Structure formats: C-alpha cells, structure tokens
Amino acid sequence: MIVAIKLGGSIITQKSKFKTPNLQAIDALCALISEYYKKGVRFIVVHGAGSYAHIPSKEYGLADGIRGDDGQVHFAYVHSLCEELSTLIINSLVGKGVPAISFHPATFVIQKNKLPFKIDDKMLLRYLKEGFVPVTHGDVVLDNSIRTSIISGDALMDYFGKRIAGKLIFVSDVDGLLTSLDGKGELIREVTRDNFKGVYSVVSGSKHVDVTGGMAGKIKNLMSLKCPSYIVSGKHPNRIRSILDGRNDIYTKFIP
C-alpha cells in the first residue's frame, strides 16, 4: 500500500520564526519513515513550508500572484526557501537509508485560479515504482489565471489521495482534530459521514500566519476521498507507528 505522509510546517519548523527548522522533529520523523520503508511500506513524502515560506509569501502577497518589477524575484526567492527546507528533509532521509528524490512543484505543477490544473506526475510515479521515495512540498507555482499562485502540501496530498494512496497521514503539532480551537478541546477520534457537518463547523483558521488556509482548508476535502486520512501529532512518533500498524491511539481518523 502507498502511504502519503505530510510533514506539516508546524512540526518541521517553528512556524512564527522565519526560516527556523525543528531539526529534532525532522530527524525523528525521517527515522520513522526509514523504519517503515525498510519494512516495505511505500511512501510519498509531502512537506509543508512552515516559517520558511509562509512569512515571505504573505509579505509579497504571493497567494494572489506576483506583481511589480520584483515579482519574479519574490517568487524565485520563496521557491528557493522551499527547496532549502526540502533539502534538509532529503538529507535526513538519505542519511537514514531512504532513497528520497525531490520533486519541486514549481517545476511540474500548473494551477488555475489557485487550484491544481495540471500535475505532471509521470516521473514521480516512475521513481515510486522503482522503489524510490518521492519527496514534494508546498511551493509557488505557475497559474493559468493569475500568473502564479501557491500550492499547499495539502492540495498535493488530496491529489495523491484521489489517485494512488491507500492512506493519508497528516503530521502536525496538534493531537488531531479537537472540539475547540484553543488547544484545550477534546480529541475527535473519528470523523465519519454522520458527524462530519458538526465537526466542520467547529474548525476555522489556524493561529499562525498561513497563506494556504489553515486547518479548515486541510480537512475540507478529506471526506470526499476514497481512502482514510489521519491527523496526528508529530511530537509523538509512536502514534504514527500506531496508524501504520493499525492500532488505536491518540489521533483523528477520517473515514469517507
């Protein structure tokens, strides 16, 4: 089974401090991917941009495209920051024996009105078939309507969920989906067609600078997928082991 795992920007970076990686979290999560890769799980790794790209993207208004004489430079700068963070992940994975290959959306995705329009995933899927682990991420991309826009790692997860993944795991800095946004709510263990409406109404934006929609944007499409999805805390890698081993633990499971 193919597992698409998203390492959220909130766990692999300190989201309010520009360009600050959480090296310990990156190391622990890559060690877990390595452990299960060696057991035969086939992963597609997606990661967020966290404080590498959200802060400058907001400063330059990149969610709505490029403008002014420096627009292309702003775009290239933010892309280079995403690549820099991605290189940390790749190096950590390769160092742990995982054949991770980077795929930067700026070079294979085109959007239309901020939504994926053409994802040229042939090479990525070919590498996956050959036993490699494709690594991709939230990025700035070309956009047929507004010249450029931002694709979030969640949109990429959604894409893989619709096509080839059997399981989507969203690793974040929260225990899962909670009944209130102040971090004190109770964990919602399962979201099904029966309770989805009620659950969605308690979820709104994230407390951090997030140009791609925060938690509400993240969960919106999960219930329309064919495969189950999970939101789990990256602070407790054992909980991710529980998901991969099929055990109950502290996380939220979405059953479409």
Of the candidate spans 33-41, 209-217, 232-240, 244-252, the one that interacts with ligand IPE by CB under 6 A turns out to be 209-217
Give me the least distance between CB of 220 and ligand IPE, in Å please.
13
Residue numbers 54-93 binding ligand IPE by CB under 6 A: 54, 57, 78, 82
Q: Which of 73, 140, 70, 71 is nearest to 111 (CA)?
A: 140
Binding mask 135-154 for ligand IPE (x = CB under 6 A): ---xxx---------x-xxx
Query: What is the total count of residues that contact ligand IPE (CB under 6 A)?
Result: 20
173 binds ligand IPE (CB under 6 A): no
49 binds ligand IPE (CB under 6 A): yes
Give me the least distance between CB of 148 and ligand IPE, in Å please.
10
Give me the least distance between CB of 100 and ligand IPE, in Å please.
18
How far is the first Cα of the chain from the last one, in angstroms, to the nearest whole number? 18
The answer to whether 138 touches 150, Cβ cutoff 8 Å, is yes
Give me the least distance between CB of 81 and ligand IPE, in Å please.
8
Give the nearer residue to ligand IPE in terms of CB position, either 6 or 42.
6
Give me the least distance between CB of 240 and ligand IPE, in Å please.
16
DSSP the chain: -EEEEEE-HHHHB-TTSTT-B-HHHHHHHHHHHHHHHHTT-EEEEEE--HHHHHHHHHHTTGGG---STTHHHHHHHHHHHHHHHHHHHHHHHHHTT--EEE--GGGTEEEETTEEEEE--HHHHHHHHTT-EEEEE-EEEEETTTEEEEE-HHHHHHHHHHHT-SEEEEEESSSSEESSTTTTSPEE-EE-TTTHHHHHHT----SS--TT-HHHHHHTTGGGSSS-EEEEETT-HHHHHHHHHT---SSEEE--
Q: Which of 103, 210, 221, 249 binds ligand IPE (CB under 6 A)?
A: 210
- CA gap 226, 58 in Å, rounded: 33
Give the nearer residue to ligand IPE in terms of CB position, either 16 or 255.
16
9 binds ligand IPE (CB under 6 A): yes
The contacts of residue 89 (CB under 8 Å, 6+ apart) are: 7, 12, 26, 30, 45, 47, 100, 135
8 binds ligand IPE (CB under 6 A): yes
212 binds ligand IPE (CB under 6 A): yes
Of the candidate spans 67-75, 109-117, 133-141, 229-237, the one that interacts with ligand IPE by CB under 6 A turns out to be 133-141
Of the candidate spans 119-127, 177-185, 207-215, 228-236, the one that interacts with ligand IPE by CB under 6 A turns out to be 207-215
Q: Which of 21, 50, 161, 176 binds ligand IPE (CB under 6 A)?
A: 50
Binding positions for ligand IPE, rule: CB under 6 A: 8-9, 48-50, 53-54, 57, 78, 82, 138-140, 150, 152-154, 210-212
